[in-house]
Structure 1
Amino acid sequence: MYSLDNLQTLLKNPEGVVGVLHHFVGKVNQEYYRRFDTHSGFSVMDEEWDNLFLLDGCRYDLFEQTNTLQGTLESRQSPASSSSGFIKNSFHAKTFHDTVYVTANPHAFQIEPETFHATINLLDDEWNEDLLTVTPQTMADALREAHDTYPEKRIFGHFMQPHYPFIGEQGQQIDQGGVARRDKQGNVVERANIGDIWVKLQFQLNSLTPEAVWEAYRENLELVLDIIPDLAAELSGQTVLTSDHGNLVGDWIGPIPCRGFGHPPNLYVDTLTRVPWFDMGGTSRTITSDPPVVHESLENKTARKRLVDLGYAQD
């Protein structure tokens, strides 16, 4: 973001300068919520479900507009506005030995070994180096295997979609930071030069528009929703879809009015904290609690690399 090229682009672009102003006002808003807000949110582990599919970064309104599955839609207030905060507030210093956690989110490096009966990490061998994420189908296959291996445990699947990178046909056509760009020889372009899509959108560093990003975001959600019916049918028990936080796509936020982008931590605005709770039904299966047997940890170096690919950090 703070490269000389980006600075020169901003100085030539009045909209980029406006983006800088909104950025700093947003930081003030974050500090306000951090200091004065008593936001708590719901406890996902206290809810009733046998299979929970968490769709990372899914806004309630996006889900409501896009979903065509059969079930009952309600909303919940997430305990955080980012994945890191959600994981910390939901799991830290707690134990859920009746649950198997299957994750495609790098923030899972925070999870202690004793938290779940089993923690299955898909961020090493199952990471897609072209798309720079774990695909919905890969997650679905891992969840089927977890269900077969642990038939008397709750199954918690943490999908990365609709969180960017945008991996749909249209999404891959826009200039974003996640999908690996290749030169004419097929070599991956340096990711540090690609940039975070929310930074590009806020500071008008290219021709991106909020409308184009919203459509790519919707397409990502459609990709994960497409695999849900077959997956839910194959897993016994009650299935619920939810999310950890939303996403700001140029929305006006407060308490000091400004436009927001992405999902900054400690920003407890409704667009970020209101998430879907979609109950697909199903007959509850027998669930038992047993001591932990597996914890597939994620090395800090790998976690940081994955977070950069997903736009959470910079090299």
Structure 2
Amino acid sequence: MTISFSDWLSESIEHFRTSDRSVVSRIARPPYYVYVGAFLTATQQRQYGTNIFDREWDTLIVLDACRVDALREVADEYDFITQVNSITSVGSTSFEWLNHTFSAEYLEDIQETAYITGNGYTERVFESDGHTGHAPIPFGPENYNVVDSSDFGYLEELWRVDFEDSSEWIIGSGDGRRVNPRYTTDRTIQAIRNSELDRSIVHYMYPHDPYPLAGESLQRPFDPLKAGTASRDDVWGAYLDNLKLVLDEVELLLENIDSERVVITADHGEAFGEYGFYRHVIGCPIPCMRRVPWVKTTATDKGKYEPTAPKYSLNDSVAVQDRLEQLGYL
């Protein structure tokens, strides 16, 4: 997050002059980021929400941008989902969730944790002072008490891999093109089968948009939804399809690792127009963004599947900015 009063002021003026959004939206934007500065300052000093390390689990499966009500809607299709409870997340964006979750306060736990993640914010949070690409705010915390990449028992940043369009690990096309969640499943199975660490976290970048299985007009649906050219029902349906795509992978994962205490959760939720919000917005307290699933289950390795996904090398890795742009952040 860029902390600069002058940048906030100049961007606010430029946005008001040039944005094609409504007058109300343009007027509301500057004070909202003043609020964000105050909110981030307060939550840095006092935890808001439940830190995952305060709960009991052996394997934590994070579904990026998964809503509680969405998971409840499809739960009957999956035997491993028997009850969908919820907790309040420590963030309404991945940036907040990573900073507050992997706090140095939990260093001992983190040192015994494997983190296999498709979320590109890891570099910016753990290595690059937290500059996220969000709009500048006039004041707020300059630094977070967050661990370094080297503090993890094991860290694999899956977002770094850069496949060719023709790769078997790519699904979708055009704006919907992205890495198949099977890649995350495969790398996680390999990591956990070879791990002696106490805990493992896998962070899928689904059901977060884009939606590779949807028609072209719904692959990146939130601008059309805001503009009224796409219906909420159609966008919600595409979102559920993206959720089921990753839940199919979770099912495969649970059949190929041994873990007595598994929890399925999310870093944050997603807004589809509630209170005028769309997607997920930094510092936002509304329930559809802040309440996330908490589903308990178990996993037993049946040994019937052998993963084939290659581990990325630095020679074929993608820049973090490219990956965040693909996800619509920059």
TM-score range, shorter chain: 0.7 to 0.9
1:194 aligned partner: none
2:295 aligned partner: 278
- 1:227-266 matched pairs, under 5 angstroms: 227-237=249-259, 238-252=261-275, 259-266=276-283
**Alpha-carbon contact 2:160-2:317 (below 8 Å) kept:** no
**Alpha-carbon contact 1:26-1:260 (below 8 Å) kept:** no
Give the TM-score taking structure 1 as reference length: 0.73
Give the CA deviation at 1:114.
2.7
The answer to whether 1:92 aligns with 2:100 is no
Give the CA deviation at 1:301.
7.8
Give the residue type in structure 2 aligned to 1:108: T
Unaligned runs of 5+ in 1: 178-196, 253-258, 284-295
Gap change, CA 1:303 and 1:9, over 3 Å in 2: closer
1:174 aligned partner: 217
Give the CA deviation at 1:27.
5.2
The answer to whether 1:123 aligns with 2:123 is no
2 CA distance for matches of 1:116 and 1:273?
Answer: 26
Identity of aligned residues (%): 25
**Alpha-carbon contact 2:254-2:299 (below 8 Å) kept:** no
Give the residue type in structure 1 aligned to 2:150: E
Q: Provide the alpha-carbon RMSD of the alignment.
A: 3.5
1:286 aligned partner: none
- From 29, 50, 53, the counterpart of 2:61: 53
The answer to whether 1:213 aligns with 2:249 is no
2:201 aligned partner: 156
Give the CA deviation at 1:32.
6.8
2:225 aligned partner: 201
**Alpha-carbon contact 2:257-2:299 (below 8 Å) kept:** no
1:102 aligned partner: 116
Secondary structure of the structure 2 residue equivalent to 1:227: helix
**1:50-71 Cα distance to aligned partner (Å, 9 max, x none):** 2111000011111111223333
Gap change, CA 1:132 and 1:107, over 3 Å in 2: farther
2:86 aligned partner: 75
**Alpha-carbon contact 1:164-1:310 (below 8 Å) kept:** yes
Gap change, CA 1:154 and 1:134, over 3 Å in 2: farther
**Alpha-carbon contact 1:72-1:280 (below 8 Å) kept:** no
Give the CA deviation at 1:201.
3.1
2 CA distance for matches of 1:303 and 1:26?
Answer: 27
Flag the structure with higher helix content: 2
**1:7-53 Cα distance to aligned partner (Å, 9 max, x none):** 9994xxxx966665676786576467457776611111232112111
- From 137, 150, 169, the counterpart of 2:182: 137
**1:198-245 Cα distance to aligned partner (Å, 9 max, x none):** 34433x1x7223222211111110101112222112111122100010
**Alpha-carbon contact 1:91-1:115 (below 8 Å) kept:** no
2:145 aligned partner: none
Give the residue type in structure 1 aligned to 2:179: V
Gap change, CA 1:310 and 1:17, over 3 Å in 2: same
2:144 aligned partner: none
